[in-house]
Structure 1
Amino acid sequence: MNAQEDQITRKDALKKMGKYAALTAIGTFIVLNPKKAMASSPPDPGGSGGLG
């Protein structure tokens, strides 16, 4: 393999980093706002199909 083929341009790198940054921001928002996430979820997401 040629080392030149493995390299990407600065523009491509910034595009990839932007995507990762967006995913990280969404994940962080979900983790740090559990009350809001719980408020939008159904009251009994498991239903009555328990072991008992």
Structure 2
Amino acid sequence: MEKKNSKTEITRKEALQRMGKYAALTAVGTFLILNPKKAHASSLPADPGGDGWPAP
């Protein structure tokens, strides 16, 4: 006897709505992980104490 999986089948519109929600959550999570202000604050300067000119 076959069972119908009518609950597991969704329409194209419902699938796009679900993917939109996942995309939004992914964007927020990525922004929180890769926050530019925190990344900049934790990075070291390229040459501490140097004036940018090579030594003679």
Which band: TM-score by shorter chain?
Answer: 0.5 to 0.7
Query: Which has more radius of gyration?
Result: 2
User: Partner residue of 1:29?
Assistant: 31
The percentage of counterpart residues that share the same residue type is 64
Query: Could you list the runs of 5+ residues in structure 1 that have no partner in the other structure?
Result: 37-52
The structure richer in helix per residue is 1
TM-score (norm 1): 0.57
Structure 2 alignment gaps of length 5 or more = 39-56
Q: Is the partner of 1:21 in helix, strand or coil?
A: helix
* Matches of 2:9 and 2:31, distance apart in 1: 33
Q: Which runs of 4+ in 1 moved over 3 A?
A: none
1:13 and 2:12 matched: no
**Number of residue pairs aligned between Structure 1 and Structure 2:** 36
Tell me which of the two structures has the higher relative contact order, counting C-alpha pairs closer than 8 angstroms and 6 or more residues apart: 1
Aligned-residue offset at 1:29: 0.6
Q: TM-score, with normalisation over the residues of structure 2?
A: 0.54
